[in-house]
Amino acid sequence: MVVKTQFNGNEVTGLHVGVRNVRRFFPKSVRVIELQLDHLQIQCGLSPEFWHGEPQIHDPRLCEWLDFKVGHRIDERKNVRLAMTPAGTNIFRLRSSTVKRDGMASAGPLTVA
């Protein structure tokens, strides 16, 4: 699935998953998911609003990782698209990759200086 970073000014505030992705990949009974961020694995809570029109994931560790991986690539406060793939029951792998406009293919990992 394709997700987007969220920003408040110049600060990363989380991920926008999208309503369609929520319906497809996240059962309403799930309250916590695990995200694999490179070699880091974190648990993120999902608020009740996640299933009711506010499909965002907020976590300070996630925000730090996003800021490190993609924050320097932000130009004019654009949201960055990322690939988020299921990696088990309630586990998702998040990759900082460039996504083609069709939103389906990954052109490869970003290089971090």
pLDDT at 38: 87
Report the DSSP beta bridge partners of residue 108.
Answer: 98
Q: Which class for 14: exposed (0-12), middle (13-18), buried (19 or more C-beta within 10 A)? A: buried
Buried b or exposed e, range 63-94, using 16+ CB within 10 angstroms: bebbbebbbeeeeeeeebbbbbeeeeebebbb
More confident residue, 100 or 81: 81
**Overall average pLDDT of the 84-99 stretch:** 85
Mean pLDDT, the chain, rounded, equals: 81
- pTM, whole model, 2 decimals? 0.78
